[in-house]
Structure 1
Amino acid sequence: MNTNRLSIPIEKILNHQVKKEATASQIYLSLGAWADSEGYAGMADFLFRHAQEERNHMIKVMDYIMERGGRVKITGIDDPVKDPENLQECLELVFTHEVDNTKAIYDIVNLSQEEKDWATWNFAQWFVKEQIEEEALVLDLLDKLKVAGGTKATPESLLYLDAQFNKMEDEVTLAREASGDKPQ
């Protein structure tokens, strides 16, 4: 008796997402190692925490595949990105990566809707919300760096900003969760 509740295309796209989340973890680890070598301990810590968050996302997708009777296929991952030249390029690489991951999540949503696989569609909604948060977080960091002077920021500004990265939570408040009493 076949107990797999996932179609072959859905199982394949979810396994592709497992690889993307593992690759994302490696990207964050690589950028964190770069940040640490450049003296940005706060940014390194932030990126290392995000590497673990991406690994958690990978496990979440794996768990879903297994709960639906599918088979998880672990494959090799892509090489991480090359080291950035500066902090701004580092954050731009993170943003580019997050946008790419958002597109992959949308592919899962679109395929699950096309196949009328409402369980997978519902599962993917958590990731849609997560990607909104991830993109907003990186945009916030890029804005902070811009205020500090961007690629022309003074060493003092970068030192202060790096200390703030270390204190940052890993999530940002979404506008739809704000209220008059709690705007942020």
Structure 2
Amino acid sequence: MVSKKVEDALNKQINAEFWSGYLYLSMSAHFAKEGKNGFANWFKVQALEENDHAMKIFNYILARGGQAVISPIKEVPHNWASPLDAFKAALAHEKQVTAMIDNIVTLTNEEKDYATLSMLQWFVDEQVEEEATAQDLVDSLEMIKDNGFGIYTLDRELKSRKYTPLASND
């Protein structure tokens, strides 16, 4: 069983992961409306992954005999000036999520909750990948600038991203 402090932090993280899913789904809708279906696809897949992350923590809390609490989701932004602005926002958001995960890792160390620490290692590794991917896309878009063919080419590339559910959310 997890301590109340750890359970509360994990429940807060569930909310943050679902909020991330809402944010990325909003970005997907924005780009779909603009006819940038590759960008829309990339963000839709990202939204599905964030929901998986929330469920991984949800299921972990339940498996440890805790109470998973689903809280209201705060409103997310709906418009971005450009793909670059959206990916800069995504990168900044992923850095915030990394900081939240790091804070829970610190807490689990303080609480000597090694089972939760073990589960969180997956999230630590995942955040390295999330930040690197977002940074790569920011870098690409900064090189492309307003080049229509560059945006078109990247949009086509992002259209090929496929959603792969987590093997297990337990």
Q: Into which bin does the TM-score normalised by the smaller protein fall?
A: over 0.9
For the pair 1:105 / 2:101, whether they are aligned, the reply is yes
Alpha-carbon distance between aligned partners in 1 of 2:84 and 2:142, rounded to the nearest angstrom? 8
Which segments of structure 1 move beyond 6 Å, counting only runs of 4 or more?
Answer: none
SS in 1 for 2:75: coil
- 8 Å contact kept, 2:37–2:159: yes
For the pair 1:156 / 2:149, whether they are aligned, the reply is yes
For the pair 1:12 / 2:42, whether they are aligned, the reply is no
**Which letter does structure 2 place at the counterpart of 1:19?**
N
Alpha-carbon distance between aligned partners in 2 of 1:102 and 1:82, rounded to the nearest angstrom? 23
For the pair 1:117 / 2:113, whether they are aligned, the reply is yes
Deviation at 1:167, TM superposition (A): 2.3
Alpha-carbon distance between aligned partners in 2 of 1:154 and 1:140, rounded to the nearest angstrom? 18
Q: Residue deviations 1:86-113, cap 9 Å, x none?
A: 1110101111110110011001100000
For the pair 1:29 / 2:25, whether they are aligned, the reply is yes
Counterpart position of 1:165: 158
Cα-Cα RMSD: 1.4
SS in 1 for 2:81: coil
Alpha-carbon distance between aligned partners in 1 of 2:158 and 2:138, rounded to the nearest angstrom? 11
Counterpart position of 1:180: none
User: Any unmatched runs of 5+ in structure 2?
Assistant: 165-170
Alpha-carbon distance between aligned partners in 2 of 1:142 and 1:84, rounded to the nearest angstrom? 14
Q: Which of the two has higher C-alpha Rg?
A: 1
Higher relative contact order (CA 8 A, sep 6+): 2
Deviation at 1:132, TM superposition (A): 0.2
Alpha-carbon distance between aligned partners in 1 of 2:144 and 2:163, rounded to the nearest angstrom? 21
Residue of 77, 84, 106 corresponding to 1:88 = 84
Alpha-carbon distance between aligned partners in 2 of 1:168 and 1:53, rounded to the nearest angstrom? 12
Counterpart position of 1:39: 35
User: Any unmatched runs of 5+ in structure 1?
Assistant: 172-184
Q: Residue deviations 1:1-50, cap 9 Å, x none?
A: xxxx1111000000001100110000000011011112210010010011
Q: Taking every aligned residue pair, what percent have the same amino acid on both sides?
A: 34
Deviation at 1:81, TM superposition (A): 2.2
Alpha-carbon distance between aligned partners in 1 of 2:121 and 2:65, rounded to the nearest angstrom? 20
Counterpart position of 2:51: 55
Counterpart position of 1:66: 62
For the pair 1:137 / 2:130, whether they are aligned, the reply is no
Deviation at 1:148, TM superposition (A): 1.4
Relative distance call for 1:97 and 1:62 in structure 2 (3 A) is same
Alpha-carbon distance between aligned partners in 1 of 2:58 and 2:110, rounded to the nearest angstrom? 22
SS in 2 for 1:167: coil
- 8 Å contact kept, 2:30–2:78: no
Alpha-carbon distance between aligned partners in 2 of 1:162 and 1:76, rounded to the nearest angstrom? 33
